[in-house]
Amino acid sequence: MFDVDEMIEEFLAEAQEHRAQIEELLLGMEQCAPHELSKMVNELFRAVHSIKGAAGTVELDNICDLTHAMETELSKVREGELSVSSELISALLGALDVLGSMLDHIDEQERIDTAPAIARLTCCSSGQESDTSEPQRTQECPEPESNPGTASSCEAERSGSELSAAVVETFVANSSSEGQRKSVNESIRVPVWALDSLMALAGELVLVRNRQLQSIDERLRTDRNNVSSMDRQLAQQLDLVTSEIQEAVLRTRMQPIGIAFQKLPRLCRDLANKLGKRIAYKVSGSETEVDKTILECLSDPLMHLVRNSCDHGLGAPSERSKAGKEPTGTVSVSAHQDGGQIVIRVQDDGRGIDPQRVGQKAVENGVCRPEELAGMSDKQVCMLIFSPGFSTASTVSDISGRGVGMDVVKTSIEKIGGSVDVFSKLGEGTTFSMRVPLTLAIVSSLIVRCGKSCFAIPQVNLEEVVCLHDEEVFQNVEFINNSPSYRLRGQLLPLVYLEDVLGHRDSIPKSALLERRNFFESFPPNSLTFAVVRLGTQSFGIVVDEAIGTEEIVVKPNHPILSKVRCFVGTTVLGDGRIALILDVNGVAQHASIESRFCEDGSEQETISRPKEVLSQLAFTLNGEDLCMFPLSLISRIISIYTDSIDEVGGIRTVNLDGDSIRVVDIAKHLGEPVGSDSGEMALILPRHIKRSVGFLCKRVLDIKQVEKMPSSETHLHPAILGSFVLDGKLGLMLDMFALARCEEPSWFESEKFEGDRRVIPRRVLLAEDTGFFRRVVGAYLVELGYHVEIVEDGQLAADKLRLHDHGFDVLISDLEMPNLDGFGLIEKLRRGSDWEHCRSLPAMAMSSLSSPEVQKKAIALGFDLYELKLNRESLRDSLEELLGQSRHRSHAA
């Protein structure tokens, strides 16, 4: 015995099928040949009747009444009392919509008002009965071929042309609906979970097979005689059958794509009426099979595209005639399989997309900037229509034009691992082409290892796998804000350690990044493997321990408990029985805040292309609130010490570190800040380039800051303060390590002065530097060292000065990033330019805030003799000595 719920469910499934059939028939009736009409009316009648009958048995009276009214009208048509008019069809379609909403909300069907739909139906017949002048197309209407006199000539013509098109049009429902019915009879309804469990079992079988094959292999290796040919044959058969089962089970989930096309003809018809256009809808390839889950995701994008084609693509009949086209526009939808993908096209023969107009609108809508637009090809401009917020319609209609839709199409297709493309020719039409995978259940994936666990990265997200070895690792990985990046074919590719992503529940803390960087720099790894994955238009790299290989994996959805875990889209069982989690590239990117890094990296790239400098500074606090900073490039390491471990002998404070005695410089003391008297944990910053064993004591190390704006050039109270600026609402002081060291122990720098004084004729230095702050600091320092300094603001000015044969400079110090002519261009001229032949051997030093080995290499390759980091006094002094010593040699030799 069925209970009522079960019966209703049964009824619903059946009624939905009939509903789809009715819609198809109704739409077909409008365009079919008259001799087919009677057959179609009969079918229609049967379908409506079935719903009515079934609704009666499950006591759904409201549905019963409505279908009864529909049936009444149809029987009138059958009896010849009523002709098939477009009003009648519209009324029937309207009634069908009401029926549909009742079926969709079966619990509330009693509350839906059917009266207006019924009234409209009855109105049709009563109105028509009086109006006998209208040409009749009833069941009794003789076929036009045998009796052309009864049908108007226009109709005969129409049916003729329609017949030829019948092959491709689904409207001509006879063949297709019969085919459908046949398939209904031969199929049974199976719940999806049954298929899913069958799928799981098939997967299980694959594992058993894999183990069996492994064991046979094992035995073959160890003892050949132990394996009979029978064993081997059985294993082979098992192998074969298993593969076939897996395939067959996968096929059970496949459904014809036509299901997603079902709503489209109706959409075209409604839109044509509404917009006053004439639209023919054509379809092909609707039998192409695609996975159920994909199918469900296709319906809305298709509607959007067809709506777009009808509204924007096709012109009004008059406009079309003017352009020399048929007044009836065509929207055709097609599908075919291409390898492991399905290609779906929505094509119209309308106006086509005007790249100029799209570009103009894109700028108006704020989708892109005019300067960006200038560099785009027509094709790229066309693709702008998929941008969020884009709309070409000058007025917003209820059909389209709100600027939502096309971007939704793109995102929903991309969500299922597909892509959208558009081809358009102005005046000839537009084709949208979507590529989606055949199935989501089995995806080809890269299996990677991180720690002990394996993870799968779906191939659709994957661009390439990069493995660096030995020095490649160190040379090509740069750190920006402590986040590693790799320069892949000129593009900065942000890298994310999968281990970091997995190890931190929320976002990756800055301390972890710093730790990662320090570890990376102190123990450069022998190799570095990362998968380059796509994220929209950007890419980033996921660093893993090992890339194992690709495998076709069966995707299992995440357990509901894990639904909030955004880094994984699902699980899979690998060939060896281990479990691998499937990475969600978007989730990983979100977790690692990749989006913000694209921006940072963008600005970093700007600093390379534009003369703008970024200094990485280590921020720390003394006892007060103020931030203090040292250039990061000058720091070797930071250790935490306790104040009671500092020894004080005769006012000199030292600390013992790994056997070395380190002089402790209390920064607060020298700056005249209150000295912290309390004992406790402090931080000692050890510099990289100062030869003395010295450490700078501060209260707490905070963070690494990227300082873009150089400090203002006001004079400061203390020689150790290079400059000040406001950062995150706080005052920041940029400190001079060397000045501080001199405050601590002036004697260290005495030799320096002596050398300076010894020079009878001061050496002349040309300093090319665009940043005021550096001009001031470096300039002052050079003067302090006893050099005569001339400063210019960019490379061009430096080149002009050096063009003179008697420029009189002994050495050139040049910044690399400068406006007009950068350091690279400058040295290029000096070493190779025809006007500067006298400068070929002029000693030249590059000075930059970039510590990238690549930049350094490039600078040296172009002809700089040395490369120095900015604000590194000691090193600058020594290098200058060295350079000038060499040049002295050189001039002696010459």
Residues binding another protein (CB under 8 A): 200-201, 203-205, 207, 453, 501-503, 505, 556, 559-562, 564-568, 571, 573, 577-581
**Least Å from the CB of residue 204 to another protein:** 3
In this complex, which beta carbon is closest to another protein, that of residue 336 or of residue 566? 566
Q: In whole angstroms, how far apart are CA 622 and each of 205, 427, 669, 732, 780?
A: 67, 71, 10, 12, 27
Give the position of tokens 């149809």: 74
CB closer to another protein, 574 vs 845: 574
- Min CB(560)–another protein separation in Å: 6
Handedness of CA 537, 704, 719, 790 (dihedral sign): negative
Distance CA(89)–CA(73), nearest Å, equals: 10
Please report how close the Cβ of residue 566 comes to another protein at its closest, in angstroms. Answer: 8
Q: Which helix (H) or strand (E) holds 453?
A: strand 453-458
CB-nearer residue toward another protein: 327 or 577: 577
Closest to another protein by CB, 344 vs 502, is 502
User: Residue 237, Cα to own-chain centre: how many angstroms?
Assistant: 44
Q: How far is the CB of 475 from another protein (least distance, A)?
A: 31
As measured in angstroms, the least distance from the Cβ of 199 to another protein is: 10
Rounded Cα gap, residues 97 and 23, in angstroms: 9
Least distance in Å: CB of 512 to another protein? 14
Least distance in angstroms from the C-beta of 539 to another protein: 23
The least distance separating another protein from the CB of residue 86, rounded to whole angstroms, comes to 51
User: How does DSSP classify residue 568?
Assistant: E
Enumerate long-range contacts of 344-347, CB under 8 Å, 24 or more apart: 344/257, 344/298, 344/302, 344/433, 344/434, 344/435, 344/436, 345/431, 345/432, 345/433, 345/434, 346/302, 346/305, 346/306, 346/309, 346/431, 346/432, 346/434, 347/309, 347/429, 347/430, 347/431, 347/432
Query: Which has the closest alpha carbon to 844: 825, 863, 824?
Result: 863
Nearer to another protein, 127 or 577 (CB): 577
Helix (H, G, I), strand (E, B) or coil at 33: coil
Shortest CB 540 distance to another protein, Å: 19
Answer yes or no: are the C-beta atoms of 114 and 12 closer than 8 Å: no
Residue 496 Cβ, how far from another protein at the closest point, in Å?
14
- Our CB check for another protein shows the closer of 581 and 791 to be 581
Q: What is the CA radius of gyration of the chain?
A: 39
**Measured from the CB atom, is 18 or 209 closer to another protein?**
209
Q: In the complex with another protein, which residue's Cβ is closer, 16 or 453?
A: 453
Dihedral of the alpha carbons of 437, 442, 447, 449, in degrees to the nearest 10: 120
Taking a C-beta distance cutoff of 8 angstroms, is the pair 352, 428 a contact?
yes
The smaller minimum CB distance to another protein, of residues 565 and 639, is found at 565
Contact 843/865 with Cβ under 8 angstroms?
yes
Q: How far is the CB of 249 from another protein (least distance, A)?
A: 13
Q: Which is nearer to another protein, 73 or 500 (CB)?
A: 500
Measured from the CB atom, the residue of 580 and 821 that comes closer to another protein is 580
- Three-class SS state of 204: helix
In the complex, the smallest distance separating the C-beta of residue 556 from another protein, rounded to whole angstroms, is: 5
Distances (CA, A) of 585 to 362, 460, 501, 533, 547: 29, 10, 11, 7, 16
For the CB of residue 558, give the shortest distance to another protein in the complex, in Å. Answer: 9
Which DSSP category does 3 fall into? -
Name the residue nearer to another protein (CB basis): 155 or 196: 196
3-state class percentages of the chain: helix first, strand second, coil last, to nearest 5:
50, 25, 30
CB distance 96 to 26 below 8 Å: yes
Helix (H, G, I), strand (E, B) or coil at 278: coil
Hey, which residues does 538 pair with through a beta bridge? 535
Cβ proximity to another protein: between 234 and 579 the closer is 579
Compare residues 340 and 503 and give the one whose CB is closer to another protein: 503
- Residue with smaller CB distance to another protein, 208 or 396: 208
Q: At what angle do helices 292-308 and 264-275 cross, to 10 degrees?
A: 10
- Give whichever of 567 and 690 is closer to another protein, judged by the CB atom: 567
Name the minimum Å distance from CB 453 to another protein: 6
Least distance between another protein and beta carbon 441 (Å) = 14
Shortest distance, position 552 Cβ to another protein, whole Å: 15
Gap between the Cα atoms of 598 and 535, Å rounded:
11
Handedness of CA 366, 372, 377, 380 (dihedral sign): negative
Question: Over 574-606, what HEC string results?
Answer: CCCCCEEEEECHHHHHHHCCHHHHHHHHHHHHH
- Report the DSSP beta bridge partners of residue 433: 345, 421
β-strand partners of 442: 554
Question: Which residue lies nearer to another protein by CB, 568 or 787?
Answer: 568
Non-local CB neighbours of 132 within 8 Å, separated by 6+ positions: none
User: Are 730 and 627 contacting, i.e. CB atoms less than 8 angstroms apart?
Assistant: yes
**Which C-beta is closer to another protein: that of 404 or that of 565?**
565
Question: What's the closest the beta carbon of residue 542 comes to another protein, in angstroms?
Answer: 14
Residue 390: closest CA among 449, 312, 468, 454: 312
Residue 219 buriedness (CB in 10 A; 0-12 / 13-18 / 19+): middle
- The one-character DSSP state at 555 is -
Residue environment code for 431-444, b if the CB has 16+ CB neighbours within 10 A, otherwise e? bbebbbbbbbbbbe
Question: What is the C-alpha to C-alpha distance for residues 754 and 731, in angstroms, rounded to an integer?
Answer: 37
At closest approach, how far in Å is the CB of 413 from another protein? 28
